[in-house]
């Protein structure tokens, strides 16, 4: 529980009003809150198939990447990266959430019924995925997917 508590504090610290964020997590039936991107982190959002393949590559080379979210249909996977990454990202087909945007964030350590969920929850340390490593993993994952599809 200590890890979840630390993760909660880390995530809530990104909110304009951390107490209101905690309140929202407790009272929202889906267990989610809206948090601003661009301050403590940005999020790179990949299509599901590429996102899962990229996460597979990343977890082979890293003990633990930064936090990773997935939407309810496994259609999109969001990797938490350092702030400012979204403004510099040029990848085609990759959506970004940076300064001026908000993301739906589930309470760490608690599953959300049919909604956004953590594939890799934050541990509270503030660790984020290195965008250069993420990009390299995406290239390798895309090549694997293309080979598997016979392209």
pLDDT, tens digit (0-9, with 9 covering 90-100), for 72-114: 888 999 999 999 999 999 878 899 999 999 999 999 877 666 6
pLDDT in tens, 22-67: 998 888 888 889 999 999 999 999 999 999 999 999 999 988 899 9
The answer to whether 15 and 53 are in contact (CB under 8 A) is: no
3-state secondary structure of 92: coil
User: Which of 105, 119, 101 minimizes the C-alpha distance to 8?
Assistant: 105
Query: Distance between CA atoms of 3 and 17, rounded to whole angstroms?
Result: 22
Q: What pLDDT score does 3 carry?
A: 66
Measured CA to CA, the distance from residue 121 to residue 106 in angstroms comes to 9
- Yes or no: say if 43 and 35 are a contact pair by the CB < 8 Å rule: no
The strand pairing partners of 117, in sequence order, are 70
Report residue 12's pLDDT band, with 50, 70 and 90 as the boundaries. very high
With a cut of 90, say whether residue 2 has pLDDT above it.
no
Mean pLDDT of 3-10: 83
**pTM of the full structure:** 0.92
> Mean pLDDT, to the nearest integer, of 101-128?
87
């Amino acid at each position: 529980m200590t890890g979840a508590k630390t993760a909660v504090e880390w995530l809530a610290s990104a909110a304009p009003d951390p107490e209101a964020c905690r309140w929202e997590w407790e009272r929202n039936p889906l267990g989610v809150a809206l948090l601003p991107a661009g301050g403590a982190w940005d999020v790179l959002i990949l299509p599901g198939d590429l996102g899962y393949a990229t996460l597979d590559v990343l977890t082979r080379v890293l003990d633990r990447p930064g936090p990773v979210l997935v939407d309810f249909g496994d259609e999109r996977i969001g990797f938490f990266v350092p702030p400012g990454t979204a403004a510099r990202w040029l990848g085609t087909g990759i959506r970004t959430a940076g300064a001026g945007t908000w993301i739906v964030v589930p309470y760490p350590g608690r599953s959300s019924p049919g909604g956004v969920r953590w594939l890799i929850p934050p541990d509270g340390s503030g660790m984020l995925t290195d965008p250069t490593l993420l990009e390299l993993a995406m290239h390798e994952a895309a090549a694997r997917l293309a080979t598997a599809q016979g392209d």
